[in-house]
Amino acid sequence: MADITRTIGLSLGADICWPICYEALLKQLDLELQVGGDKVRFDCERVLIQPFSLSSDCRYDVVIDRLTHWYHTSREWIKKAILVNDLYVFNNPWSIQSMEKQTTYAAMLRLGFPIPETWMVPPKAYEDYADLKPTLTRYARLFDLREIGDSIGYPLYMKPYDGGAWVGVTAIKDADGLVKAYDESGVRVMNLQKGVEPNDAFVRCIGLGPQFRPVNYDPGAPLHDRYQMDHDFLPDDQRQRLENMTMVINAFFGWDFNSCEALRQDGEWYPIDFANACPDSQVTSLHYHFPWLIKANLKWSIFCAATDRPMKTDLDWHEYFAIADQDIPFDEKLEGYVALARKRFDVDAFEEFCATHLSHLDEVADEFFGTDTVRDAIHQKVTALFPEHEIEEFTELFWNRVQEWRRVEGPGK
Ligand SMILES: Nc1ncnc2c1ncn2[C@@H]1O[C@H](COP(=O)(O)OP(=O)(O)OP(=O)(O)O)[C@@H](O)[C@H]1O
Ligand SMILES: [Mg+2]
């Protein structure tokens, strides 16, 4: 029997609240697990940004990364560490780098998901490249934007093909609005997407490894109220469908942590945004759901570290396409995709691991989320985001919502 210490690295940017809670709860758990004949303990450190050689060692077994999508040195360090040092990281940096929204729509359309009609249009304006003029003069064709708008139908949404955080997203009611929005879109490459409207539900389904949490979402509410506090608000079959869709999306793209936005129309769920490299993890937006995220993150990262989970760099899309190409209804295809996704996420082994080694996590977490450490983490995050005169009020609001989670969903509830 060997004594092993697995080190989990947190590659962070502006994150404040969740790492404080993650680190404190991991420390409090003080795990010493018997895994495959070894005695395994866990350390957690924040990853520093510094020069590295291709042959530098990597001191981490698992990295939870929040930087790859914009900070290239960290992205390249992580890719190097996967290739040279067998690091396991979530999320997969190659997949994040290459799967823009547009790509994810195309891939899920191929699998038969109900993706709303989506077009891409060349940009309205360009940065000046040496080859720009000859390329456009020879090959760019004038197109009739109104015709495309009519064929999609209104309302429609214009949004950047690789976007996030609502930047550049416009709801468009008619052809004049479309022309105006396009004229104002500048150099960004845009998707035009049919609005799933009217709709009677909007859900953000958060996925962390094979753990899912559908949250009722109100995009029109102020930031701190967008995630609604409803609990068990979906019938079982609908909840299952959303979780299945999210699991398949995440397994297909090799993402451990992602959220999938879907709108319901006539009883059907339409995914409209599911390429989130760095899903919202802040208590100031997740509030009531924040403890779920911390627990899910701990369970999945501890499982990955303890079992020395290998990074799956191949996505094995041919297995999904073999199902997609069969002449069977979508529901049957989805079952087949779910079986592949469950295998990729090692669901059975994960559940057994949690039952064997982490059965006390719920109790420990419940107590932890009532402590001053959490209150202080909330205070720090609120202080970073809110104006001075709102700090106490909003600290209290988010704290109370976390306490509400303990009351409603704590152990034994
Ligand atoms: N096809 C659609 N039908 C209806 N509403 C849509 C559609 N596409 C986008 N929206 C609305 O626009 C909002 C922003 O779009 P989207 O989520 O695609 O952009 P984003 O920049 O990724 O936003 P975020 O980072 O908040 O997820 C959605 O939350 C939704 O309210
Ligand atoms: Mg979105």
Q: So what's the pLDDT on residue 170? A: 96
CA geometry: angle 26, 46, 375, nearest 5 deg: 55
- Sheet harboring 268-273: ordered strands across? 211-216, 201-208, 257-265, 268-273
Query: How many Å lie between the centroid of ligand 2 and the Cα of residue 49?
Result: 29
Query: In sequence order, what E strands does 69-188 have?
Result: 88-90, 118-121, 156-160, 170-172
Q: Does the beta carbon of 273 sit less than 6 angstroms from any atom of ligand 1?
A: yes
Round to whole Å and give the CA distance between 393 and 376.
Answer: 14
The upper half-sphere exposure of residue 245, i.e. CA atoms within 13 Å in the direction of its Cβ, equals 32
Domains delineated in the chain = 3-98 (3.40.50), 117-194 (3.30.1490.20)
Mean pLDDT of 263-277: 95
1 band by pLDDT with thresholds 50, 70 and 90: confident
Q: So what's the pLDDT on residue 398? A: 98
- pTM score > 0.85 for this model? yes
Query: How many Å lie between the centroid of ligand 2 and the Cα of residue 261?
Result: 6
The token duo for 37 is 């004949």
Round to whole Å and give the CA distance between 92 and 348.
Answer: 22
pLDDT, the chain, mean: 96
Residue 174 has pLDDT above 80, yes or no: yes
149 band by pLDDT with thresholds 50, 70 and 90: very high
Residue 413 has pLDDT above 80, yes or no: no
Mean pLDDT of 74-98: 95
Query: How many Å lie between the centroid of ligand 1 and the Cα of residue 156?
Result: 11
Residue type, 218: D
Q: So what's the pLDDT on residue 331? A: 97
Q: Does the beta carbon of 169 sit less than 6 angstroms from any atom of ligand 1?
A: yes
Reading phi first (left if > 0) and then psi (alpha if -120 to 50, else beta), residue 81 is in alpha
Please, which residues have CB within 8 angstroms of residue 201's CB and are 6 or more apart in sequence? 216, 263, 264
Please, which residues have CB within 8 angstroms of residue 348's CB and are 6 or more apart in sequence? 342
Q: Does the beta carbon of 338 sit less than 6 angstroms from any atom of ligand 1?
A: no
Mean pLDDT of 71-76: 96
pLDDT tens-digit readout, 324-363: 999 999 999 999 999 999 999 999 999 999 999 999 999 9
Whether the CB-CB separation of 96 and 69 falls below 8 Å is answered with yes
Q: Which is higher by pLDDT, 344 or 411?
A: 344
22 band by pLDDT with thresholds 50, 70 and 90: very high
Q: So what's the pLDDT on residue 166? A: 79
DSSP β-bridge partners for residue 40: 4, 33
Residue 97 has pLDDT above 90, yes or no: no
Query: How many Å lie between the centroid of ligand 1 and the Cα of residue 358?
Result: 37
Q: So what's the pLDDT on residue 228? A: 96
Q: Does the beta carbon of 152 sit less than 6 angstroms from any atom of ligand 1?
A: no
pLDDT tens-digit readout, 222-232: 999 999 999 88
Q: Does the beta carbon of 197 sit less than 6 angstroms from any atom of ligand 1?
A: yes
DSSP 303: H
Unique residue bearing structure tokens 């396009």: 182
Q: So what's the pLDDT on residue 163? A: 77
Residue 164 has pLDDT above 90, yes or no: no
Q: So what's the pLDDT on residue 232? A: 86
Residue 51 has pLDDT above 80, yes or no: yes
Residue 211 has pLDDT above 80, yes or no: yes
* Helices assigned H by DSSP within 254-289: 283-286
Q: So what's the pLDDT on residue 231? A: 84
Q: So what's the pLDDT on residue 277? A: 82
CA geometry: angle 410, 279, 350, nearest 5 deg: 55
Q: Which is higher by pLDDT, 411 or 71?
A: 71
DSSP symbols for 322-366 = HHHTSSS-HHHHHHHHHHHHHHHTTHHHHHHHHHHH-TTHHHHHH
